[in-house]
Amino acid sequence: MRQVEWWMLRVATALVLPMPLLLLYALAPAEIVMTAVAIMFMAHCVLCRHWCWLRQAWVVVAALLWGDIVLCAGLAEGMRGVMHAVGFGRYFVFVAGLQVWVLPQAIVRQQLARAYGWVALWLVAGCWQQYLCGRNFMGYGRWADGALLGPLWAPRAGHALVMTALPGLFPHFIRLSGQSGARGRPMVVAMLLGLALTMVLVAQRMPLVHMLAAMGVVGLVVPRLRAGVLAVMVMGAGEITLLPVLSPQAYDKLVVNLVAHMHAFADSPYGMLFIRAGVMIARHPWFGLGFDGFRHTCPDPAYFHGLPWLGVAEGAYGGAAGCNLHPHNFYLLVGTMGGLPAMGLFGVLVVCLLAPIWRGLAAAYDPQRLMLAVTVTLELWPVQSTSSLLTQPTAGWLFMAVGWALAASPVASQLQYMRGRD
């Protein structure tokens, strides 16, 4: 049995380490890896009677949320919906597997951080190559809205760079600022400025906000970098003023479109999605519309209405133009699937995840833990536009970061499998 367990852990580790690369180029294999690791973790728990992780608050709340979504899916779509909703639970099992089985060892986390760092550098190099040459190594030019694709074929470079650079590069920046004497801080400031410049040229609004917010947190938490981070922010603002010359398309998206969306949010694509999801939740507050209900029912004219309580007049608001595959927000997505109870449980789950991730962090000088905590917090922040929680690569980036952050927290060492004690 011990030999079987040893081989399962080695296979699971070998599958997890290349995940950042799979989430760039092989989304179906990334999904298969998450499912396979979840299955192997459950087999490990059965063989080794390793169940103490079930006593965690976040696991209990995740089970309640999962059960609620399964129930609502059954009520909305019958057995077909139940089968889809049951599969959603694999993500929570995957997170637990990372936390207490695959990533508790510091050396494995270091290897994963190294993989994330190399992928982040690859993304930066790909973005600059496309900016300078007009096309990336695949032959693709900019996206229709002006976003740089980097070394990819779709506008996903911004989010991928945030999810890899924060845990893969920023811990090195923090350590370098304190270990290289007088040269360390200028080097770190130069690298942070390079990342900020890259994100501005990528021209994806939410990833840029995340990157700048992460730099702001680093400036607040690491006193020796405060002046440098402030300088980066000032120079970044100056770069945005030069965008009409450096990259007119990026300027149109980051500035012109943003101002237009904020001036008339209800009429913007994001506002229409918010209104459509709000109408769905208002019409089905207790049980929602079932698994991935927004995508299935968005074209239904029954939801072509405004939200008078928000000052959006009644009528066929948005119509078919207000539809998309998802509402671009995790909380609204869960609310359309399971109503207000599911949305509330998701909010409680976020709190239960962030509590152990941040616990004791102030007293422990651990740049890796800090950046993982920042990454998870930014991803789960409620007021933002996101991709779907149900598909790759978003689900992979998020649940990898959550499992990794939990594994790096002190509670993980208390939950590891120890033969004869579990």
Work out the percent of the chain whose per-residue pLDDT is above 90: 74
- pLDDT band, residue 182 (cuts 50/70/90): low
- pLDDT band, residue 399 (cuts 50/70/90): very high
The pLDDT tens digits of the residues spanning 338-395 come to: 999 999 999 999 999 999 999 988 766 899 999 999 999 999 999 999 999 999 999 9
pLDDT at 132: 94
pLDDT at 416: 65
Least confident of 32-36, 210-214, 275-279, 320-324: 320-324
pLDDT at 261: 84
The pLDDT tens digits of the residues spanning 107-164 come to: 999 999 999 999 999 999 999 999 999 999 999 999 988 899 999 999 999 999 999 9
At residue 208, does pLDDT exceed 60?
Answer: yes
At residue 421, does pLDDT exceed 50?
Answer: no
At residue 311, does pLDDT exceed 80?
Answer: no
pLDDT at 107: 97
**Which has more pLDDT, 302 or 13?**
13
The mean per-residue pLDDT over the stretch 304-329 comes to 81
Q: What is the mean pLDDT of the chain?
A: 92
The pLDDT tens digits of the residues spanning 170-179 come to: 999 999 988 7
The mean per-residue pLDDT over the stretch 260-274 comes to 86
Least confident of 22-26, 61-65, 98-102, 226-230: 226-230
At residue 419, does pLDDT exceed 50?
Answer: no
At residue 406, does pLDDT exceed 80?
Answer: yes
- pLDDT band, residue 271 (cuts 50/70/90): confident
pLDDT at 413: 63
Cβ 355 vs Cβ 380: under 8 Å: no
Work out the percent of the chain whose per-residue pLDDT is above 70: 95
pLDDT at 422: 45
pLDDT at 181: 65
The mean per-residue pLDDT over the stretch 397-417 comes to 87
pLDDT at 363: 62
